[in-house]
Amino acid sequence: KAGVTQTPRYLIKTRGQQVTLSCSPISGHRSVSWYQQTPGQGLQFLFEYFSETQRNKGNFPGRFSGRQFSNSRSEMNVSTLELGDSALYLCASSPQRAGEETQYFGPGTRLLVL
């Protein structure tokens, strides 16, 4: 099976702009999670979607939002970008069935905010 794919891989934006990142999960996986990775804070959970519903959300401001489509593909949006939003944004997919909770990560989108 193809792995998790994320687009774009690299992005440069300026403060105040907004950005949309895309994630396509592994075929058959209905759960998609998003994480932010920075050198200072490590890997931090943003949110998780399953069957188009957000089931859990991390401690990030409302500028960070996401959604999931009926084909399980997901997008996350960051509005009014700040310099501190520069990070690697990782998407992970999982079957999320009993006994199958492992999350498999994509390569990430590296966002630089200037």
Q: Which is nearer to other proteins, 5 or 79 (CB)?
A: 5
Q: Which is nearer to other proteins, 80 or 102 (CB)?
A: 102
Rounded to whole angstroms, the Cα distance separating 95 from 102 reads: 8
The DSSP output letter for 97 is B
Contact positions vs other proteins (CB under 8 A): 4, 31, 33, 35, 39-45, 48, 50, 55-56, 58-59, 90, 92, 96, 101-108
Rounded to whole angstroms, the Cα distance separating 51 from 22 reads: 16
Q: How far is the CB of 106 from other proteins (least distance, A)?
A: 5
Q: Which is nearer to other proteins, 44 or 86 (CB)?
A: 44
Q: Where are the alpha helices (DSSP H) in the chain?
A: none
